[in-house]
Amino acid sequence: MPDQNNEKAVQELIDALNEDLAREYQAIIAYTVYSNVLKGAEWMSIASELKKHASEELQHALIIADQVDYLGGMPVATPKPVKLSEKPEDMLRFDLDNETETIKNYRERVRQAEALGHYALAEQLRKIISQEQEHQHDLATALGIDVPKVLPQGA
């Protein structure tokens, strides 16, 4: 019964995309809050960059929600929890860790989408990955560290 297997795989993709959507909501909230609470001259340029990231994450959320709906699912409405800190470095590190996790997950989602023949979804995800990698680079640069490597599953 290949139909049941395909339905199961589509449902797994919907569930995974909903996890991604919750992470996008988390990013929108985190970037919005962090951009407003970073204080001090050394953080002003990154604060404005975080505002831009928040807007881009909203675009990602809209794309993912649209894809969940297209696949027959209901987009989630609850974000993953947002970590807060008084220290700017901690906030940027939280964001960096989230971006790294997001990139890893979206790479897996591309594989899932292509395996099911959803090539348009895979292309949308590739565009999002590209922006998430820019966010990752911006955050690592602000922290003065190397960009974390995102290794393929099983590596």
What's the whole-number average pLDDT of the chain?
A: 93
| 78 or 2, greater pLDDT | 78
Rounded to whole angstroms, how far apart are CA atoms 118 and 106? 14
The reported pLDDT for the residue numbered 58 is 97
- 32 φ, ψ to 5°? -65, -50
Nearest partner of 54 among 40, 67, 35, 75, judged by Cα: 35
CATH class of the domain whose range is 2-143: mainly alpha
Residues 41-54: tens digit of each pLDDT: 888 889 999 999 99
Band (152; pLDDT cuts 50, 70, 90): low
By the 10 Å C-beta count (0-12 exposed, 13-18 middle, 19+ buried), 31 is classed as buried
pTM (global) more than 0.75: yes
Each residue's pLDDT tens digit, 81-119:
999 998 999 999 999 999 999 999 999 999 999 999 999
In the predicted model, is pLDDT for residue 57 greater than 70? Answer: yes
